[in-house]
Amino acid sequence: MASLSFLSSYLILLSASFGVLAKGQLDPCFYDKVCPQALPTIKSIVEDAIKQEARMGASLLRLHFHDCFVNGCDGSILLDDTPTFTGEKNAAPNINSVRGFEVIDRIKSAVDSVCGGYVVSCADIVAVAARDSVVALGGPSYKMQLGRRDARTASQAAANNSIPAPTFDFARLLSNFESHGLSMQDLVLLSGAHTLGFARCTTFRGRLYNESCTLDSSLATSLKSICPLQTGVGDNNLSPLDGTPAKFDTVYYDWLLQRKGLLHSDQQLYKGDGSGSDGLVKYYSQNAGAFWEDFGSAMLRMGALSPLTGSNGEIRMNCRTVN
């Protein structure tokens, strides 16, 4: 009886939301009528997860980035591999790196409960959780566009080819972002998400031991104590991406000006010769208010990459598997 009641509630909610779905457009008010408790529920669980582990905020933000850069913001990154299906979790940029899936599972279960059915997509949960993580760690809020639906497939090959690597030079970074319809300013702004979180030794070892001319010597000395030269030793040891890894601020840009970018791709944004994105890095280092406002706008542009809307895709019952 309980399952029949849940199904009946779901069908009623689905009918109520059909008019919005049919438009095939994202809307910040998408869930206001069909499930007004959806967003407060996501916010509460994200805040709780970050209280338990501050690093989780950066992980949830990164999860959204890695989802959107592979065939759009469609929740494909959440799908588990099966004997007949290969997803994106074990792609090179994601394996032993992308995390937060258990938090998404918790959110999905809670949201389905308060909504009385399968109303909120996993893709929207990832997007909102990223925004709420930024806010929980002291950053700006922004009106997330909603109404994404979930992909029925995923592509490990696309994940390997579409997500920019920490070894990329500036030209390749810019080319990657432009291939997604994003600009150089978006590149600098979205890279600013590295004001939160940590990176593994394996992602910065090459810079640490091969780029002494562009890496602050005192930082290099401290990094070598946690990241040995030998591959396979300490690969998963962590170092913060800036000096305040649990606070959303502009220290990331300050560090780039001081040659303290942890990743090769980070320091490529500021070379100190006035080329490329040097001017933007300086600007956001000195103008926190502008960074706050522009970061939110860049997140909205990324969040609008090729969403599935209308009758495309599905609303998954379990974020890890297709229906």
* Dihedral angle of Cα 27, 33, 34, 39, to the nearest 10 degrees: 70
| Residues whose CB falls within 8 Å of the CB of residue 211, separated by 6 or more in sequence, listed in order | 264, 267
CB-CB contact of 103 with 130 (8 Å): no
Joined tokens for residue 217 = 């010597």
Which residues are annotated binding-site positions?
A: 67, 70, 72, 74, 76, 88, 164, 194-195, 242, 244, 249
Which residue shows structure tokens 């997803």? 87
Name the residues annotated as catalytic.
66
By CB neighbour count within 10 A (0-12 exposed, 13-18 middle, 19+ buried), where does 300 fall?
Answer: middle
Residue type, 162: S
Work out the number of other CB atoms within 10 angstroms of the CB of residue 179: 11
CB-CB contact of 138 with 159 (8 Å): no
CA–CA gap between residue 149 and residue 165 (Å, rounded): 27
Which DSSP letter does residue 233 get?
A: S
Joined tokens for residue 296 = 């939110």
Beta bridge partners of residue 146, listed in sequence order: 27
Which residue shows structure tokens 């959780």? 129
Gap between the terminal Cα atoms of the chain: 21
Question: Which three-class secondary structure string do you get for 41-64?
Answer: HHHHHHHHHHHHCCHHHHHHHHHH
Which residues are annotated binding-site positions for Ca(2+)?
A: 67, 70, 72, 74, 76, 88, 195, 242, 244, 249
The helix (run of H) or strand (run of E) holding residue 240 is strand 238-240
